[in-house]
């Protein structure tokens, strides 16, 4: 086939590409786009041809713009490399953000004169979603939160029934429970059993951020919205489109952000920080708190209208002290997992240790139970876990709790970490294996508790 024959089909060839393609003139006007460009951006070719390439709002292009004598864009400078590749954010016609990889190359004639530029756009949305999912799963693995919700008590059977019913609803769900009762596990179970399970599951701890950062995390921002906003950023609402958004510690959201959150729940629309274009989303909200929101409403710390909006399907998780009949199966489940990870032949608790477990009030709930068993697996070598293998402060835990110092606040976890590091001579990978967690979690706990490895080994 001759070249002239192929040239007749170049439009069809370009339209078979998965990547969006845009041909730009030297002055910046769009000369041509392919079908994938139309699908990715939402603009038809008729809407973009002849208009400025700035139309798509690429946040990486601003660094290429110039006011010097060599032209309006660095891409067309004589010393520019043949191919420029960058990861960027593109604003679609409907205002939503498209994470993308953009390749740009200048086209020159035989004499070296600039004829224009060709740019290809690769959709990175799915990669971004997978990155977020990996981050969530990594944290769950590190925190041993992937075991599933365990319990056979009447209180937990009621929770299981509510989870099943709530999962098949699109109404907002709120999970009430003390710290360490497994609220995050319940939220995840609701997503995986519901009609939105094929969509994204995105979560955010609202207690960890101030008002400005929280607003940016929830709704995203555009480049230049504030100091340090060097790129467009997709918020959690947009990332959760078609799925579930889990807002943990919702009682810690500042009042200024509560107003904006209420507006999104009522309209299913939001605006990015620094932008005025509404973005529509289809998101089901799952929230959780360990606070008494009714008391906060009375103290003007939480909006009553937001409470009624999120409190459509409430689920109350009982503390461990109210379902002690679940302790044996919880202990068995944790021990079996620690056996697989550490390889130790520890098979259970002695009657004395079990009696101590049953008498203890567990102020830190299931999370504290997990930490106590992690510690025991560091101390004990095989056989049964006895009282001597439990944390030194464990027997005084109830007295400490009465003074407002819950062992779940970190003392047990920190003690187990230090002991594991000592036994492994500071090897964090081996310490992680002893504790039944991953190496990243060891590093995070060292940073969290200010553990100095040199001091630990010298002690």
pLDDT-above-70 percentage for the chain: 85
> CB under 8 Å to 300, separation ≥6 — which residues?
none
Structure tokens at 235: 């918020």
Q: How far apart are CA 96 and CA 430, in angstroms?
A: 45
DSSP one-letter code for 161: H
Among 65-74, 212-221, 435-444, the range scoring the smallest mean pLDDT is 65-74
What's residue 430's pLDDT?
84
Alpha-carbon distance of 69 to 77, in angstroms, equals 10
**Alpha-carbon separation of residue 220 from 125, 212, 223, 394 (angstroms):** 15, 11, 10, 44
> Tokens 């909200």 appear where?
285
Q: pLDDT grade, residue 145 (50/70/90)?
A: very low
Residue linked to tokens 């009375």 = 298
Task: Write the CA distances from 356 to 248, 321, 335, 387, integer angstroms.
Answer: 32, 13, 17, 8
Instruction: Please tell me the CATH code under which domain 3-123 is placed.
Output: 3.30.450.20
- The β-bridge relationship of strands 173-176 and 284-289 is parallel
Give the orientation angle of helix 428-435 with respect to helix 365-379, to 10 degrees: 120
- As a whole number, the mean pLDDT across the chain is 84
CB 274 within 8 A of CB 224: yes
Domain boundaries, the chain: 3-123, 127-318, 322-458
pLDDT tens for 268-293 read 999 888 888 889 999 999 999 999 99
Reported pTM: 0.67
C-alpha–C-alpha distance, residues 43 and 349, integer Å: 65
Q: How far apart are CA 182 and CA 320, in angstroms?
A: 10
Helix, strand, coil shares of the chain as percentages rounded to 5? 45, 20, 35
Best mean pLDDT range from 50-59, 241-250, 343-352, 370-379: 241-250
- Side-chain-side CA neighbours of residue 90 (13 Å): 26
User: CB-based contacts of 376: which residues, under 8 Å, 6+ apart?
Assistant: 346, 385, 389, 390
What is the torsion angle, in degrees rounded to the nearest 10, for the CA atoms of residue 111, residue 113, residue 116 and residue 121?
A: 70
In the predicted model, what is the mean pLDDT of residues 203-214? 89
Strand-strand pairing, 244-248 and 201-205: parallel
Q: Please report the pLDDT score of residue 47 as a whole number.
A: 93
Segments in 68-205 forming alpha helices (H): 125-142, 154-167, 183-193
DSSP letter string over 342-384?
A: H--EEEEE-HHHHHHHHHS--TTHHHHHHHHHHHHHHH--EEE
What secondary structure letter does DSSP report for 326?
G
**DSSP string of 248-310?**
ETGGGS-HHHHHHHHHHHHHSEE--BT----EE---EEEEEESS-HHHHHHTTSS-HHHHHHH
CA–CA gap between residue 441 and residue 430 (Å, rounded): 12
Where is pLDDT greater, at 451 or 412?
451
pLDDT of residue 141: 41
Angle at 194 between CA 188 and CA 198, to 5 degrees: 85
**Confidence band of 402 (pLDDT split at 50, 70, 90):** very low
pLDDT of 235-262, one tens digit each? 999 999 999 999 999 999 999 999 999 9
Q: Which CATH number fits domain 322-458: 3.40.1050.10, 3.30.1330.60, 1.10.150.20, 1.10.8.60?
A: 1.10.8.60
Q: What is the mean pLDDT of residues 116-129?
A: 83
Question: CATH: 3.40.50.300, 3.40.50.1820, 1.10.540.10, 3.40.50.2020. Which one for 127-318?
Answer: 3.40.50.300
């Amino acid at each position: 086939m001759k070249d002239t024959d192929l040239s007749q089909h170049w439009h069809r060839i370009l339209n078979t590409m998965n990547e969006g393609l845009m041909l730009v003139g030297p002055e910046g006007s769009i000369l041509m786009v392919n079908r994938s460009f139309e699908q990715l951006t939402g603009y038809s070719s008729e809407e973009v041809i002849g208009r400025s390439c700035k139309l798509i709002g690429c946040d990486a292009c601003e660094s290429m713009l110039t006011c010097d004598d060599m032209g309006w864009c660095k891409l067309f400078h004589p010393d520019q490399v043949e191919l420029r590749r960058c990861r960027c954010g593109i604003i679609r016609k409907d205002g939503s953000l498209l994470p993308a990889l953009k390749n740009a190359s200048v086209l020159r004639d035989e004499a070296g004169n600039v004829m224009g530029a060709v740019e290809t756009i690769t959709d990175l949305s799915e990669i971004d979603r997978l990155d977020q999912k990996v981050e969530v799963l990594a944290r769950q693995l590190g925190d041993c939160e992937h075991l599933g919700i365990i319990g056979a008590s009447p209180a937990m059977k009621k929770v299981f029934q509510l989870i099943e019913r709530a999962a098949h609803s699109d109404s907002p769900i709120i999970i009430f429970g003390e710290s360490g009762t497994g609220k995050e596990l319940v939220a995840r179970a609701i997503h995986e059993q519901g009609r939105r399970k094929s969509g994204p599951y995105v979560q955010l701890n609202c207690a960890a951020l101030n008002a400005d950062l929280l607003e940016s995390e929830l709704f995203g921002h555009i480049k230049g919205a504030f100091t340090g906003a060097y790129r467009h950023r997709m918020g959690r609402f947009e990332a959760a489109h078609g799925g579930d958004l889990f807002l943990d510690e919702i009682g810690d959201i500042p009042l200024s952000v509560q107003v904006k959150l209420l507006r999104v729940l009522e309209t299913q629309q939001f605006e990015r920080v620094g932008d005025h274009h509404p973005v529509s989303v289809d998101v089901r909200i799952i929230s959780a708190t360990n606070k008494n929101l009714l008391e906060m409403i009375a103290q003007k710390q939480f909006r009553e209208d937001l409470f009624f909006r999120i409190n459509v399907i409430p689920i109350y998780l009982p503390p461990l002290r109210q379902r002690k009949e679940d302790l044996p199966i919880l202990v068995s489940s944790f021990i079996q997992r620690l056996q697989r990870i550490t390889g130790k032949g520890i098979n259970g608790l002695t009657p004395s240790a079990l009696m101590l477990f049953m008498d203890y009030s567990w102020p830190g709930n299931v999370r504290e139970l997990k930490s106590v068993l992690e510690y025991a697996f560091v101390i004990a070598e095989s056989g049964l876990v006895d009282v001597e293998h439990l944390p030194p402060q464990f027997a005084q835990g109830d007295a400490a709790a009465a003074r407002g110092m819950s062992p779940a606040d970190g003392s047990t976890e920190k003690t187990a970490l230090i002991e594991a590091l000592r036994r492994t001579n500071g090897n964090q990978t081996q310490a992680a294996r002893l504790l039944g967690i991953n190496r990243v979690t060891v590093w995070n706990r060292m940073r969290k508790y200010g553990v100095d490895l040199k001091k630990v080994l010298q002690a």
